Amino acid sequence: MTIDEDAVRAEVRRTIHALVDSGREAGVQVAAYRHGRLIVDETAGTADATTGRPLAADTPIFSVSTGKGLTSSVVHVLAEAGRLDHDLRVADVWPEFARHGKHTVTLRHVLTHTAGVPDLPADVTPADFTDWDRMCALVADAVPRWAPGEQIAYHAWTYGWLVGEVVRRATDRTISTVLAEDVAAPLGVTGELFFGVPDADLPRLAVLEDNGLADLMAFASAHLPHFDAVAPPAVHPDATIGSRPDVLRADVPAVGTLTARAAARLYAALIGDVDGVRLISADRLRQVSAVAVRGVEWVFGQEMAFGLGYAVDDDGSFGTSGSGGSLAYAYPQLGLSVAATRNRLGANDGDPMEGLRTLIRDAVRAAG
């Protein structure tokens, strides 16, 4: 049975315009690739409600932890090129990290959120995030909570400096440079995938709004005993920190600024060929997308499964989602990748971006 792509696009278009017209959303992007071909590329609403600037397919949006998928993909592209190994000991390229018994932590532990160093100092500030060397020094001097591999604990912020500094030490390039040169450029999406956003691109970004995410962060802070350990109060991952130009300009690779179209294209190139570009081999794809660890995670107290740098879902997908409503996932068995972003960061709103992912997945799955 052949998928009716026109019908899928029409349903996505109807859904996102209804979300915007009802006032639930400001701007939404949705994109999907199937077998290396763009089948959905829909946008609706505004990038800036104050000025009325429309949201376009190439308008980058700060997308919180969906950016971790970019970070992880950089690692795998470098591993494919022989520049990194998943079992590399972090301290072998970053000797300072060996302090306090962390000498056995490997890149694999980092990718699976089992490195044992999810914490940040309670008084860390957004301004600190703009100082790469300071943040790496804090992570290097961290006392591990457990032996590596012993406990899954979402490394909400530290993931970015752990991976990013390993990349910098191993390649003598920043992770932003590797993302731009080794991922975005070959895929033809330069200007749509960022860690640190160049000054010239800041005016292009969508303006963020809060729609309950800040309240959710406050609730988590009050009710989850370990939440503030990994995301201290001044650096909750919300619209406030995602709107600061100094933070947006900085490399903070636990988060990212991206378009849905570029994220979907990246995942499509992880699972197959996209216009002659394939980022990793089929064998490496199997390695990174398989469940590597599963168990009750320390921060949220829920069962989680991770591959190498991605969440692995029971529906056959791997990828990452961001607080407030953004996501990028691939379904290797379906040849499908899906990404959705929005600039009104919400919580407890029925997760409409997840609904859009499900809509596209189910349509493709039904087609066989």
Tokens 């995942």 locate to: 267
Taking 70 as the threshold, does the pLDDT of residue 323 lie above it? yes
Give CA torsion, residues 194, 316, 17, 21, to 10 deg: -90
Compute φ and ψ for 198, nearest 5 degrees.
-60, 150
Count, residues in the chain: 368
CA distance 361 to 316: 10
CA distance 33 to 44: 19
**Residue 48, SS3 per DSSP:** strand
Check residue 230 and give left, alpha or beta (phi > 0: left; psi -120 to 50: alpha): alpha
CA distance 266 to 180: 12
Average pLDDT, the chain: 97
CA distance 173 to 34: 32
Taking 90 as the threshold, does the pLDDT of residue 207 lie above it? yes
Taking 70 as the threshold, does the pLDDT of residue 111 lie above it? yes
Interior angle at CA 219, CA 218 and CA 221, nearest 5: 65
Interior angle at CA 89, CA 270 and CA 330, nearest 5: 15
* Average pLDDT score over residue span 309-332: 98
* Average pLDDT score over residue span 32-39: 98
CA distance 99 to 140: 7
Tell me the per-residue pLDDT of 221-267, one tens digit each, with 9 for 90 and over: 999 999 999 999 999 999 999 999 999 999 999 999 999 999 999 99
First-to-last C-alpha distance (Å) of the chain: 6
CA distance 368 to 365: 5
Q: What is the pLDDT of residue 195?
A: 98
The H or E element containing residue 294 is: strand 293-296
Q: What is the pLDDT of residue 2?
A: 83
CA distance 229 to 345: 23
* Average pLDDT score over residue span 295-313: 98
In the chain, the amino acid numbered 178 is V
Q: What is the pLDDT of residue 1?
A: 62
Question: 19 and 350 in contact (C-beta within 8 Å)?
Answer: no
